[in-house]
Chains A and B, each alone.
Chain A
């Protein structure tokens, strides 16, 4: 029989040991950081299913001893916020009614803007793009006063459609930036070929550009959906009571009329408010990363 074992190699053994040790440290640290991020989430999830008296007895941070859907039911349909006892459901639908149209409209206009700024350049289009980019860096609160004036003038105060308009325009800088940078990498020859073929501005847009756009549209949709859903400032300033989106309602809920804190209901309400963006990211997250890192299309 031939000897198949290699002779002992001290150098290789040392480097293997070093590699193992460094990997252990890296994965140990990663696990620790993941715990730090996930622990509060677990606490909230647990508390949303615990009985309130049990929370009071054992404290906020402890393993659940009871299990009930009462808090979820209450948070969704019966809990009293600002004097009305209908739970969060109205605000949840408000948020959906605000987020979905605003996401779709701002993404489509971003695509159109990006298409123009990358493929139909005109005198001053680069300058215009620079101006649009200001919107990316401008904090939302700067626009509060002008928006308040405009919404008042248009009669859209305390109205979901008013918020749709605000979010469409506030988000346009981002969607334009994303789409323009994506379209810049689409070869100009495609546009030239289509122009010679007889296609005009719109036909090129919907027959050539849009079919190439899913990777970047997924990015803008996720970005806009999570951003608009989670947005709080405009919601709380421009709407009140039943017209509020869920983020504003959450604040009203935790601000409560009494000093008793209903930790169970608050936990459930927070989770209801966090669910849609979580789901969007859960199903679209991998496309999001892919779209952001995608350079050129061949």
Chain B
């Protein structure tokens, strides 16, 4: 059953169109991440789902009910805001009770819900405090608690972790995942952080400039990006893009890179309309090669960035900088000339003109 169906939703602010026909369907219990750079329209889409903004055209339906003209409070949703939006003059307890009071939930039921959620999120100790007396992580928990007490059909998160420091963010990310595993509520989660999207979601919707680029499982998005935008956005360090001329004969593909290197491999590729291609290679699919290895790039190391667990090495190949990941003890030195073997099974090929995946 689909809990949320978004059909051809468009949104314009004046003459600026920020959403250009979005289609998404979210199955019951799914955790969907809306991800994209700032200004891509993801927060607007969430506000439209919540009913805080009206779509210019298209429909939103929650549990098979079209909700375009339904007030936010009647959409059976709960939302966690980036700023947490805790009511500053109320205690944690009052914050969590507010929604139930507004809906006229009987007092006994309210107490039960409060107890259940505060136990689940381990905020029993904080119930008497005001938001100003809480740390960032505690506020985050309370904000989730306020959403959870209502037991809604749909959970909406608007960049909930972006106000936390790096360590706490990772911690809370884990907690959100555990929480979702425990309660299995359908969730739409907006983030600009591709790591959050990868780790949390069952499917990711990548948006750019108001257009849905790809909507698929995280690993599929990572391995088979639909276009160069998705390929470049997902993954850190970002995918390397190298211009190449492609020739296909039978099942054999030959890619002639700038600077003379050639990649030859077998893959079922349709005959392209043009030979101009962009090859996408993830940093972890480049390994150190000896002189006999075919399918290698040759470059001079211009930058070495150790991160502790791995070392990112940037080399100049032809006219392009290519990033590769190494174990720290195997990292080449600055200025060294390296041969980088390419895992040709896992490279992506994009049409240089349309930037869409060609194979």
Identify the A interface with B (CB < 8 A): 187, 189-190, 192-200, 203, 207-208, 211-212, 297-298
Instruction: Indicate whether B88 reaches chain A with its CB closer than 8 angstroms.
Output: yes
Other than A189-B81, A195-B72, give 20 A-B pairs with Cβ distance below 8 A. A189-B85, A190-B88, A193-B81, A193-B85, A194-B87, A194-B98, A194-B102, A195-B52, A195-B73, A196-B72, A196-B77, A196-B79, A196-B99, A197-B73, A197-B98, A197-B150, A199-B98, A199-B102, A212-B89, A298-B132
Question: Once the chains bind, are B88 and A297 in contact (CB under 8 Å)?
Answer: yes
Give A208 to B72 CA distance when docked, in angstroms: 18
Question: Once the chains bind, are A189 and B83 in contact (CB under 8 Å)?
Answer: yes
Interface residues of B in 43-67 (CB under 8 A from A): 50-52
Give A196 to B79 CA distance when docked, in angstroms: 7
Instruction: Indicate whether B103 reaches chain A with its CB closer than 8 angstroms.
Output: yes
Instruction: Indicate whether B317 reaches chain A with its CB closer than 8 angstroms.
Output: no
Question: Once the chains bind, are B79 and A193 in contact (CB under 8 Å)?
Answer: yes
Instruction: Indicate whether B78 reaches chain A with its CB closer than 8 angstroms.
Output: yes
Give A193 to B146 CA distance when docked, in angstroms: 10
B77: chain A residues within 8 A (beta carbon): 196
B83: chain A residues within 8 A (beta carbon): 187, 189
Q: Top 10 nearest A-B pairs by Cβ distance?
A: A197-B99, A211-B89, A189-B85, A198-B102, A193-B85, A198-B73, A199-B102, A198-B103, A196-B72, A189-B81
Give A214 to B159 CA distance when docked, in angstroms: 32
In the complex, residue of chain A having the shortest beta-carbon distance to the beta carbon of B105: A198
B14 to chain A, nearest CB (A): 13
Question: Once the chains bind, are A208 and B87 in contact (CB under 8 Å)?
Answer: yes
In the complex, residue of chain A having the shortest beta-carbon distance to the beta carbon of B150: A197
A200: chain B residues within 8 A (beta carbon): 73, 102
A207: chain B residues within 8 A (beta carbon): 87, 90, 98
- Residue of B78, B85, B103, B150 ringed by the most chain A CB atoms within 10 A: B85
A189: chain B residues within 8 A (beta carbon): 81-83, 85
Identify the B interface with A (CB < 8 A): 50-52, 71-73, 77-79, 81-83, 85, 87-90, 98-99, 102-103, 132, 146, 150
Give A194 to B150 CA distance when docked, in angstroms: 13
B82: chain A residues within 8 A (beta carbon): 189
- Residue of B78, B79, B82, B90 ringed by the most chain A CB atoms within 10 A: B79
B146: chain A residues within 8 A (beta carbon): 193, 197
Question: Once the chains bind, are B87 and A190 in contact (CB under 8 Å)?
Answer: yes
Give A124 to B103 CA distance when docked, in angstroms: 32
A-B contact pairs, 15 of them (CB 8 A): A189-B82, A192-B79, A192-B81, A192-B85, A193-B87, A195-B73, A196-B50, A196-B78, A197-B73, A198-B99, A199-B98, A200-B102, A207-B87, A207-B98, A298-B88
Give A199 to B88 CA distance when docked, in angstroms: 16
A118 to chain B, nearest CB (A): 16
Partner of B89, one of A187, A196, A203, A208: A208
A198: chain B residues within 8 A (beta carbon): 73, 99, 102-103
Give A192 to B88 CA distance when docked, in angstroms: 14
A297: chain B residues within 8 A (beta carbon): 88
In the complex, residue of chain B having the shortest beta-carbon distance to the beta carbon of A195: B72
Question: Once the chains bind, are B87 and A187 in contact (CB under 8 Å)?
Answer: no
Partner of B88, one of A195, A197, A203, A212: A212
A295 to chain B, nearest CB (A): 15
Give A49 to B103 CA distance when docked, in angstroms: 64
Give A235 to B2 CA distance when docked, in angstroms: 69
Using known A-B contacts A189-B85, A298-B132, determine if residue A203 contacts B78 with beta carbons closer than 8 Å.
no
Question: Once the chains bind, are A190 and B89 in contact (CB under 8 Å)?
Answer: no
A199: chain B residues within 8 A (beta carbon): 73, 98-99, 102
Question: Once the chains bind, are A197 and B102 in contact (CB under 8 Å)?
Answer: yes
A208 to chain B, nearest CB (A): 6
Partner of A190, one of B50, B85, B103: B85
A208: chain B residues within 8 A (beta carbon): 87, 89
A298: chain B residues within 8 A (beta carbon): 88, 132
In the complex, residue of chain B having the shortest beta-carbon distance to the beta carbon of A189: B85
A194: chain B residues within 8 A (beta carbon): 87, 98, 102
Question: Once the chains bind, are A196 and B73 in contact (CB under 8 Å)?
Answer: yes
B226 to chain A, nearest CB (A): 33
Give A182 to B72 CA distance when docked, in angstroms: 26
A192 to chain B, nearest CB (A): 5
Give A196 to B132 CA distance when docked, in angstroms: 22
In the complex, residue of chain A having the shortest beta-carbon distance to the beta carbon of B71: A195
B28 to chain A, nearest CB (A): 21
A194 to chain B, nearest CB (A): 7
Give A147 to B26 CA distance when docked, in angstroms: 62
In the complex, residue of chain A having the shortest beta-carbon distance to the beta carbon of B84: A189
Question: Once the chains bind, are A192 and B52 in contact (CB under 8 Å)?
Answer: yes
A192: chain B residues within 8 A (beta carbon): 50, 52, 72, 79, 81, 85
Give A200 to B99 CA distance when docked, in angstroms: 11
In the complex, residue of chain B having the shortest beta-carbon distance to the beta carbon of A213: B89
B72: chain A residues within 8 A (beta carbon): 192, 195-196
Give A197 to B52 CA distance when docked, in angstroms: 12
A212: chain B residues within 8 A (beta carbon): 88-89
Give A45 to B87 CA distance when docked, in angstroms: 49
B100 to chain A, nearest CB (A): 8
Give A287 to B51 CA distance when docked, in angstroms: 39
B96 to chain A, nearest CB (A): 10
B50: chain A residues within 8 A (beta carbon): 192, 196
B90: chain A residues within 8 A (beta carbon): 207, 211
A197: chain B residues within 8 A (beta carbon): 73, 98-99, 102, 146, 150
- Residue of A192, A200, A208 ringed by the most chain B CB atoms within 10 A: A192
